[in-house]
Each structure stands twice: as C-alpha cells, then as structure tokens.
Amino acid sequence: MLFNSWQYALFLPAVAAGYYLLPHRLRWVLLLAASYYFYMSWNPKLVFLILFTTATSYLAALGVQRAGTQTGRRLCLAAGVGLSLLCLFFFKYFNFFSQSVTAFLRSISLPVGDFTLQVMLPVGISFYTFQTLSYVIDVYRGQMKAERHFGIYALYVSFFPQLVAGPIERAVTLLPQFRQRHTPNWDGISYGCHQIAWGLFKKVVVADTAAVYVNRVYGDLNGCGPMAYVIATLLFAFQIYCDFSGYSDIALGSARLLGFRLMQNFNCPYLSASIKEFWRRWHISLSTWFQDYVYIPLGGSRCGRARHLRNLFLTFLVSGLWHGAEWTFVIWGGLFGLFSMAEVFLLPRLDRWQRSLSVGAARAVTAVRWLVCFGLVCLCWVFFRADTLSDALLILRRLPWALSAPVQGVTVALQTMGLVGGSLVFLLAALALLIGHDLVQRLYGDPIRLLQRQKAPVRWLVRYAVCLAVLLTALTLPEGVAVEFIYFQF
C-alpha cells in the first residue's frame, strides 16, 4: 500500500477514526493490526521476517537487562545484533558478495561457477533492522530499560507511518508515546493534513514528473548528448529529494493525525554550504544513526587525525553499502567520505578567512560554497542513479563536452528529453515553489505554521493550488498516481 494511492487515502482516516474511538488500553492493538496489514499488503509472507526480527531483538534486550554478568550481557547483545544483521545480509547482500567473490576468483584464472539465490528483497528491511539494532544497543548501554510488553515493542518496530522508509526512530523517544493518551486535537490534525498535502506535492508533482525525463536519459545514454546528462542529473537531484522527503512528510503528517511526533528527516539540504552541513540536513535519522552507532564507536573525532579520517571514510562506506548492494552505492558513499575528509582540512581555514571579510564579500563566498557543495552532491548522484558502474563512468567521461556549446546544447537536450512547452513551464514552476518553500523555511521557520497564521483567503488559495497540482499531475503522468518511492528498494 503506497502513501500516494487511493487505498491509503481510505486506510489512514479509517485507522485514525478507530484509534480515537477505542478505549486507550486497546489502541495499541488497533495500531499493531493496522501496521501489520499495511506491511502485508505488499506480500503476506513478509510478516514472518518482521516477526522474527522483532522477537529476537525483544528477547535479546531482555537478556541484556537480566544477565548477571558482563559476559552474559555481551552474549545477548551479540545474539540480538548478529541475528538482525544476518537477516539483512541474507536478503540484501548475499548475492552481491557472492558475485563479487566469483568475479575476483575468475580474474585470477580460477574456474568457478555463479552461486546466487533467487530471493526477494523485503520492503523496508534496512529501516526496521536499524531500529531494532539501536534499541538493543541502547538497552546494553543503559540508556533505556528493555520494553517488557511484546505488543508495544512490536508496534515500535512496525509502526506503519515510518515502517517502510523511515524516519529511523529511536526507541527512547517513540516507545513512550505508545503509552500516552492522545485526544483529537484540531491543531495537530490540521498540521498533519498540511504536511501530508505538501509531501504529496513533492512526490507526485515534482519527483514523479522529473522521473519521466530522468528515466529517458539514464535509460538511453547513447541516444542522448552530454548536456542531457547534466540536465537529467540536476533533475534527479530534485527527484530523489522530493521523493524521499515527500515520503517523510507524509509519514510525519500521518503520525501527527494520530497524536504521534516523529523526528524531522530533512531540513533544506540543498541550501547547505558544505558536505558536512548537507549530511546534517539530509536523511537526518540515518545520519545520526551512523554517527551514534558507527562513527563514535570507531573513535569519532576524539583521536588522532589519521584515525579521525579513517572513521569518517569507513562510516560513509558503510552508509553507501546500506543504500544498496551494488558497487555504485559503495563508490557513492566513498566519494562523500573523501569530500568529508577534505573538509576536515579545508573548512576551519575557510571559515576563519570568511569571518575576516566584509558582510557582502562573506555572502558572496557563501554563495560560491553553496554552488560547489551542490555540484559535488550532484556528482555523487550520478553513481546513485546510474544502472551500472560502466554507465556512471560513461556519463563522467562525457560531461566535459557539455561545456563546448552550453546554450545550444541545452536547447537540443531539452528537445531530446521531450521537456518543452507546457511541460517545461510546469516543471520549472513546481521547482520554483519547492525552492521558495525551502528558502522560507531556512529564513523564517516552518512554512506550515506561517501559512496557518495567514488570512483565510490566502490559506485556502495555497491549499487549493497544491491539491489541484497533485490531482492534475496524478491524472496526466504516464505511470499513474501510485508510483513507488525510490527508497523502497533499500
């Protein structure tokens, strides 16, 4: 069941109505049943995997808390973490490592056959696995008590708004909310509806529209010129941002309708002036997860310079591998690691120099830094979007040719992509609204709260325009309204 489907448009209000009508002691039962129904709508067999991960992590955390010795606590931690990672490895990475080992053995003239498994990647497995890992580790660290109520814990793992693609919630903040008594609140319901509408605008109007033209180029690289690569990559930057942050907005809005507050997952990432800042604003729940459970345990920055750089690079490599079992994702993570390592040396010097400049000059430097950061991020997106490593390298080899005749190249590229006339105007208008929204958020705060303080004609005009754009786009897109979210494959 997709967020951008008519089924979900009926499912969410029904769950919300039932939630508020039921007595408080039974509400968790409804939410758990709704969450499992939501997850099983993809494939009923997937319920056994999420049940296994839930049960093993639940028992491991109880074992960690009850163990009388440090050795026992460590054994329970290892069991909980190991079983969760084993499931993730089997379904997501087994074929990748098998194929990589086979290719290496063949490269040294050892005759080996292919050994792969025909297994389906369970939707959302990376996200709920990381939630269970953080829970068991937090109990081991003494940051929280183990949850004794299995049903409540199962709801924490499977809570439907954020089950499939996050945000990756921490048990210490989400578990207590399932015991709180929520009452219908017009402010929360209104805010949640606005957030859902904006998330649908991002997904349907911006991401799904951009995807049509991005797919035309990345699906036929030999039939397109270098300038088409540039335009398609820029569009993909906005496609993946709106696709993923749109999902997060719908997730947060859906939870808000029920009285729950999930963590913010995106905060104007493309307005960042450095790669470090970008990762503080992009997929925040994952960035903080890797910081707390990978980067800091490795030593973080509180060590020698060499180890600090190693920790940065390894963290980004693991992050790339988390995104997908392909070498393109590993290189994507490695590039971000290299850029972050370079910033360890450059940023302190650049910040000191910029503080010594006049206000106008400092703003000009910030603009240049923003352009450089956005350019580096887009360079990394090439590896993220390309179907194969050879495709990504082909794009990078041909990109310099885009500078030979930029104006003429843009015109030809847009025609090749079919992005002309009304289609071009519509997409540019949608991107302008998106950028304006992020600028307002960065400069003045939450745009939804700002809108709610406006006069009624302004509020309804904006609401009508956003809903109309979503409906019209849903009716005209070749793929239809229910286009799957990109991050479902992770």
- Mean pLDDT per 10-residue interval, the chain, length 490 residues: 84 93 93 93 86 94 89 92 88 74 70 70 86 94 92 94 88 93 87 89 89 90 86 93 92 93 93 94 94 91 88 92 86 94 91 88 91 94 92 87 67 84 87 90 86 77 75 62 66
- For position 420, what pLDDT does the model report? 84
- For position 481, what pLDDT does the model report? 45
Out of 149, 283, 323, 437, the active site residue is 323
- For position 164, what pLDDT does the model report? 85
- For position 445, what pLDDT does the model report? 86
- For position 23, what pLDDT does the model report? 93
Q: How far apart are the first and last CA of the chain?
A: 17
- For position 109, what pLDDT does the model report? 66
Question: How far is residue 296's CA from residue 312's CA, in Å, rounded to a whole number?
Answer: 10
Does 283 participate in catalysis according to the annotation? no
- For position 455, what pLDDT does the model report? 78
Per-domain boundaries in the chain:
6-184, 188-489
